[in-house]
């Protein structure tokens, strides 16, 4: 692009315009999607490219006057084909610098350009009229390139398509505002990332064809970082709202009662206060409202006491002693010592031994993961085993499902005496094939098993104690036996998603234990004499890790029982 002496625009702006032209010439839709979102999966990237087109590259320029601006750009080889007033960018700048709308003039100038593939594209310039008293805006915007972006266009937009594209893009870019441009009849959504080159840090998704109010409202809400922080800060309130609903047995009453007066009478609650709680539960997705009152959602149904897989005990536990223990998180982080004992005067396990009600609620909450237990019975082939030993198996819920699924199998529940009392009831249907053995798994385990199970046990302990537990198992288990470890796994890479991340902090407060990655478990198992063979995902972000002792001959590893191909 030829450069001549500028009179309306600064030389710096002209150089930035030339850079933007070069970006367009160097990209097509596929390469631009890959450049702006390098962490996007191949399938998602291809889908975005299928429904969008590389549309423009944009930057802000700061003319001293609009008079002669188009002519000056033409002398630089940039032929402006369209001019429209700016709505979205003008409003963003006004908010950013505390300026009234009427005091800031912004026009959008567009010049037709061809991309690398020869497809039509545009150079989009936000011309911000910058008299002397607004020079600080030009200085800051040039320094930070806040309005620079690349654009993708959705030619035939509809709410479902744009919502899906937005969801895919937000897996690697953050919502960053947007709006409706009434002059062009398009909804624009901005996203931002951390690309090292400022030219690629922001993306605009332009949806032609009218307003998309629902999509835009959601996007703007997620763009407000203050709202997002407040949502996070009120997470404790959500816990207590759900726990209160569980304590009042509100979900159970909602299965037969929908009107507010009836629910207030059934729960013996103040009607106005209950209405406010229900409104919050509706916002959380636990209940829904209709013309005839309130109804449970699928999420809310899990809080009913008698449904299969009821999570009501979890709600009571997380809203009770676990909630109180979390109040000591600052001290736990400072000292590395669990806060539970400081709050209650006893360690978590000692508290359960002293208080049968706390122990019962805890074991019920552990048993609330019925979906996990059922999946263990499905993905593990127990037919080749004679005896399964469930180490510290709580009230026996997992063992009962495993034994029910394999009639030829015998079981041993190895637990503390207070847990075995409850387990007798849970295991009544399989009592003829199950022994209840009292003991301390940190010191010894039964020696008669073909399969040993440690379900959500190791995360209760630090690495040193985990090592002792695994070494105790290795020393006692028969040479042919397998060990099944059931735990949540932390992501191996930073930024990965898993419920293990918040649970890791919960373990810090509650018992001083920790969640771990698969590779960390692999190392712990290896030091204790085990070889981790494979890992299988289970519901609720839990995984099953299958291990055998090193001394098992290679050719004999698959002769007994295996993960996969369940019954």
Residues with a known catalytic role: 459
Nearest-10 crossing angle of helices 11-25, 135-144: 30
- Location of structure tokens 């600052």: 330
* Per-residue burial over 429-447, b = 16 or more CB atoms within 10 Å of its CB, e = otherwise: ebeebbebeeeebeeebbe
- Cα dihedral: 333, 335, 338, 339 (round 10): -80
CA 93 to chain centre: 32
Query: How many Å apart are CA 336 and CA 329, to the nearest integer?
Result: 10
For residue 231, what are the β-bridge partners? Answer: none
Compute the Cα dihedral for 258, 259, 260, 263 and give only its sign: negative
Helices (H), 224-347: 225-233, 235-247, 250-254, 260-267, 271-283, 298-301, 312-318, 321-326, 329-335, 340-344
Evaluate whether 66 touches 107 at the Cβ level (below 8 Å).
Answer: yes
The CA distance from 239 to 231, in Å, is 13
List Cβ<8 Å contacts ≥24 apart for 248-253.
Answer: 249/305, 250/277, 251/286, 251/296, 251/300, 251/301, 251/303, 251/304, 251/312, 252/304, 252/305, 252/306
Interior CA angle at 34 toward 33 and 40, to 5°? 95
How far CA 346 is from CA of 202, 340, 361, in Å, comes to 52, 7, 17
Residue 70, burial from CB neighbour count under 10 angstroms (0-12, 13-18, 19+): middle
Instruction: Tokens for 507, please give them.
Output: 């373990």
Distance separating alpha carbons of residues 186 and 179, to the nearest angstrom: 9
Q: Of 6, 101, 114, nearest to 61 (Cα)?
A: 6
The strand pairing partners of 425, in sequence order, are none
| CB-based contacts of 156-159 (< 8 A; 24+ apart in sequence) | 156/208, 156/209, 157/187, 157/207, 157/208, 157/209, 157/212, 158/209, 159/212, 159/214, 159/215
Q: What number of other Cβ atoms are within 10 A of residue 46's Cβ?
A: 12
State the DSSP code for 516.
B
């Amino acid at each position: 692009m030829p450069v001549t002496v500028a009179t309306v625009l600064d030389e710096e702006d002209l150089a930035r315009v030339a850079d933007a032209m070069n970006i367009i010439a160097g990209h097509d839709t596929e390469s631009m999607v890959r450049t702006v979102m390098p962490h996007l999966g191949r399938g998602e990237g291809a889908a975005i490219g299928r429904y969008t087109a590389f549309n423009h590259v944009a930057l802000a320029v700061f003319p001293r006057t609009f008079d002669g601006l188009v002519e000056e750009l033409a002398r630089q080889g940039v032929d402006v084909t369209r001019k429209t007033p700016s709505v979205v960018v003008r409003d963003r700048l006004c908010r950013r610098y505390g300026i009234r709308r009427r005091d800031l003039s912004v026009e959008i100038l567009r010049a037709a350009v061809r991309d690398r593939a020869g497809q039509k594209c545009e150079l989009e310039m936000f011309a911000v009229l910058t008299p002397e008293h607004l020079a600080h805006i030009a200085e800051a915007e040039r320094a930070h390139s806040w309005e620079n972006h690349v654009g993708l266009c959705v030619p035939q937009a509809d709410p479902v398509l744009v919502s899906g594209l937005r969801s895919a893009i937000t897996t690697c870019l953050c919502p960053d505002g947007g709006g409706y441009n009434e002059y062009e009849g398009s909804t624009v959504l901005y996203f931002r990332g951390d690309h090292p080159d400022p030219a690629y840090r922001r993306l605009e998704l332009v949806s032609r064809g009218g307003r998309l109010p629902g999509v835009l409202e959601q996007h703007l809400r997620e763009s407000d970082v203050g709202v997002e922080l407040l949502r996070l800060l009120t997470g404790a309130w959500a816990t207590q709202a759900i726990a209160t609903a569980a304590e009042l047995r509100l979900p159970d009453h909602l299965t037969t009662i929908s009107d507010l007066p009836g629910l207030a009478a059934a729960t013996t609650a103040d009607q106005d206060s209950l209405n406010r709680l229900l409104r919050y539960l509706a916002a959380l997705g636990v209940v829904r409202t209709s013309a005839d009152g309130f109804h449970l959602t699928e999420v809310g149904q899990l809080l009913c006491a008698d449904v299969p897989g009821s999570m009501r005990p979890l709600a009571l536990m997380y809203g009770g002693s676990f909630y109180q223990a979390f109040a000591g998180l600052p001290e736990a982080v400072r000292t590395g010592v669990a806060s539970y004992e400081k709050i209650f005067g006893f360690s978590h396990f000692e508290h359960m031994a002293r208080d049968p009600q706390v122990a019962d609620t805890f074991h019920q909450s552990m048993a609330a993961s019925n979906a996990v237990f059922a999946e263990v019975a499905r993905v593990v082939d127990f037919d080749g085993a004679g005896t399964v030993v469930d180490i510290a198996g709580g009230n026996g819920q997992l063992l009962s499902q495993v034994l029910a699924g394999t009639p030829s199998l015998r079981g041993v529940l190895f637990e503390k005496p207070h847990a075995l009392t409850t387990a007798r009831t849970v295991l009544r249907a399989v009592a003829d094939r199950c022994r209840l053995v009292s003991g301390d798994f940190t010191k010894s385990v039964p020696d008669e098993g073909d399969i040993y199970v440690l379900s959500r046990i190791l995360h209760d302990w630090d690495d040193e104690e985990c090592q002792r537990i695994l070494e105790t198992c290795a020393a006692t288990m028969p040479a042919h036996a397998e060990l099944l470890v059931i735990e949540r796994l932390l992501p191996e890479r930073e930024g990965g998603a898993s419920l293990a991340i918040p649970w890791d902090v919960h373990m810090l407060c509650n018992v001083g234990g920790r969640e771990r990655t698969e590779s960390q478990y692999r190392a712990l198992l290896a030091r204790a004499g085990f070889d981790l063979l494979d890992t299988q995902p289970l519901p609720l972000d839990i995984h099953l890790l299958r291990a055998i002792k090193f001394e098992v001959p290679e050719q004999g590893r698959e002769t007994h029982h295996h993960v996969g191909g369940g019954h």
